Amino acid sequence: MDSNWATRRRAQRMRVVAMVILCLAALAGIGAWEAWVRKAYGNAEVIDVSVFTLASTGAVFVGPDTTKIIWRNNRLDQKSIGADPWQSPIQALESDLTRFPAWRDNRDIVGNPAYDLVSWVETVDEKRGDVLVVEASTGHVLARAAIQAALNRTVVIASVNPETVYFATPDPRTGFPDVPGDTIWIWRWAAGEDPENLQSSRYYNDVSAGTWAVYGDGLEFEDAPNQTVATVGITDDYPTDFGSSMSPDGAYWYGAGSGKIIETATGNMVTIPTVSKHDYGWTGAAELTVTQPFSVCSARTGQCHSPPEVSPNGACARYAIVCGANPPVN
C-alpha cells in the first residue's frame, strides 16, 4: 500500500461528517440487533464511527482518532480487541446519507449477529498481514492464515461463521460487484486448514454458510459450486457488491436495486419498500435493516416496521443519520 493511499484513507476516516453516538441497547424481540447509531444530543458521549459491524455480544468498530478496534456490549462495557484493520486499496463508494463509505461496500471488519465472531485483515508495517478470526468479546485470536495472493490484491471478506471464512482477492482496479471464482478463497479455519482457492472461471456475487450466488441465466443459488438449487430471473436489479447481499446463514439474498429479498433454497421472493438510494445491512438471520424509509424488514414476510424508541431525547429515528442500522454482518 503506497503512502499516498494510506494518507487518503486516514483522511477519509478522520473526516468529520456528523457527530454520531454508538448507543447499544438490548431490544426485546429483536434478537442480536443491539447497535444504534444516531446524532448526539444533550450530554451524550460523542463518537465518530465509520467502520463497524455486529456480533452476537455487541458491536465492533474502529475507535475514532485511534488505531484500536473496539468491542462494546449493550451495557456499554468496552475493550480494545485489536489494531486498525488493513484497508483494501480501493476507494469505497460513499453513502448518500452519511458521506462515509456505504455499509455495503465497507468490508474492513465483518461479523455475524448469531455468533461472537469477527474477521478482519491485520495491518503489519502499513502492509497487508494475515486474515484473522477473533472472538469479539475477548479479542482472542482463534485462527489466522496467510493470504496467498500478491500484496497489490485487495481482500474482500464475504462472511464468517464458526467453521468457515469466505473471502476474495480480486484486482482492486476492477472493483467488486461480482468477483471471479479464481480469486475466491474458502478458509475452513475451525478445522485448522489453510485457505483453499475456489478455482472457478465463473463470476460470483456472494457466498455465506455454504450458499453461493452467481449471475448466469438470471440469478442462480447453489449449495456448492456448480450445484444449483434455485434460479431466479432478475431483470430489474443491479449487481450488489460481493459479500453484501447474503444473510448470515445463507438463507436469503437481498437485491438493493429492486428491493427484493429472495429465499435461496426455493427462489421465492418478497419485495420491501425502499427508494432507489438507500443503505442496508443484515442485522439478524432473517432481519434486514434499511434506510429510506428507515425500517427493519422480515426476510420471511417482507413486512417492515420502525424500530423502537431508545433515545432519552425522543425517537431515535427522528434524529438519526443511520439510526439503528448496521453495516453488513454476513
Q: Return the top range by mean pLDDT from 44-48, 233-237, 280-284.
A: 280-284
Are the CB atoms for 110 and 120 separated by under 8 Å? yes
pLDDT (tens digit per residue) in 9-43 = 333 332 222 222 232 222 222 222 223 333 322 33
Are the CB atoms for 132 and 123 separated by under 8 Å? no
pLDDT at 152: 85
Strands of the 165-168 sheet, one edge to the other: 156-160, 165-168, 184-187, 196-197
Name which of 221, 209, 169, 151 is nearest 330 in CA terms. 209
pLDDT at 189: 98
pLDDT higher than 60, residue 102: no
Q: Higher-confidence residue: 95 or 221?
A: 221
pLDDT (tens digit per residue) in 203-254 = 999 999 999 999 877 889 999 888 889 988 775 566 678 888 999 999 999 9
- Residue 158: its H or E element: strand 156-160
pLDDT at 34: 29
d(CA 190, CA 229): 27
Under DSSP, the state recorded for 70 is E
Are the CB atoms for 1 and 87 separated by under 8 Å? yes
pLDDT at 40: 29
Task: Please give, one letter per residue, the 3-state secondary structure of 231-285.
Answer: EECCCCCCCCCCCCCECCCCCEEEECCCCEEEECCCCCEEECCCCCCCCEEEEEC
pLDDT at 295: 82
Under DSSP, the state recorded for 99 is S
Average pLDDT, stretch 134-153?
A: 95
Write down the mean pLDDT value for the chain: 75
pLDDT (tens digit per residue) in 48-84 = 555 778 888 888 888 777 778 988 876 778 899 999 8
